[in-house]
Structure 1
Amino acid sequence: MKRLNNTQLPTETWVSASWDEYLKVLDNHIGEKAKTYYNNGQLRIEMSPIGNDHSRDHSIIIHAIHLFAGIHGIDLNGQDNCTYRRVGTKDVQPDVSFYIGKIAETIPWGTGIVNLDQYPPPNLVIEVANTSLEDDKGAKRLLYEELGVDEYWIVDVQNVEVLAFTVENKGSRRIRQSQVLPELEISLLEQAFQRTRLMNHGKVSAWLLTEFQNR
């Protein structure tokens, strides 16, 4: 495990650091485009450029979930790159996250960083993995298990696959149908991603609308 070097900002790797060192890194070095994670004495900074492939899959997964919820009358609020913090031990900034059902409106307007000592974690967390797949399947998966989210999805951009996990008792297992979005088949989302490689999002949205209405 690397140790934080104050003269050089480590990126795309986990580095040993105290909570105070992590906060100092945020204050002194991190621009708006960086994503940051902290878990029990280790920090990770991701500053890889977000290119076309990642951003398009990021966009369509948000749209697909909003569309499904609207058609099926599911209450939810989505957060895009929101920061969740458990002071002193954990800090995460997933690509996408959702509060669903009874806790959909838990986080009030005017909230900046979501304090998980005050509010519950989101029901669903999604990471879009283009260059970070192994970390998303490994260290981040363990981190979200410890935070107690209900489901954790990884959108594998290169393999056009969705790895979905339900989280129980600080562990997780693969699922092929969402439990927080009842009756949503993961395979249908994968089909949508496959279609985005052949057609634009407008056409994919029309296809999703029909599929969601008929199921």
Structure 2
Amino acid sequence: MARYTGAVCRLCRREGQKLFLKGTKCYSEHCPVAARNYAPGQHGQSRKKVSEYGLQLRAKQTAKRYYGVLESQFRHYFEMAERKPGMTGENLLRLLESRLDNIVYRAGLANSRAEARQLVVHNHYKLNGKKVNIPSLLVKEGDVISVAEKSRQSEKFKAIDETCGSRPVPMWLDADRTNYTVKVLRMPNRDDIDLDVQEHLIVELYSK
């Protein structure tokens, strides 16, 4: 499976905002975005006039990097969003939010989406009582995700509980950190998604 293996802090700097790809580091004073709020590379600080296409591309890249999705899979989500009733851009973000690895992260059961993806692949979670190891699985309303019984006693999840225990959980999720479970109460609305991106620009880009 293809995946990005470079320095993730460079991605945040390229988009000019925190994408929260490094867990607790993103909330600390050591976050590179706070120290060097400009694009990486020798021309990162130069002023450039951004075209309409450039704005659309940056919107797409921000969304892709935020959720850790590569181009082919992102386009597949866009095509799914087009077929659904309603606004395509909002449908796209709703699909991305309903990924299993994203919900694990949102519920505070992992420090970052990358860590959530790795832990899902290693069979540390269950979906409705059954083991699941597919990070891209789309979760539905009423589904319950839980940490496997053996994993709950590990030092890894004890550390996650300490670092993520105070992180706010979206209102469309019901997280029970005592029992290491989270229930999907409903699918998120656009107001529930704190992603700083203009999704209509993504729709415009793919509609050309």
TM-score, normalised via structure 1 length: 0.24
Of structures 1 and 2, the one with the larger relative CO (CA 8 A, separation 6+) is: 2
More strand as a share of residues: 1
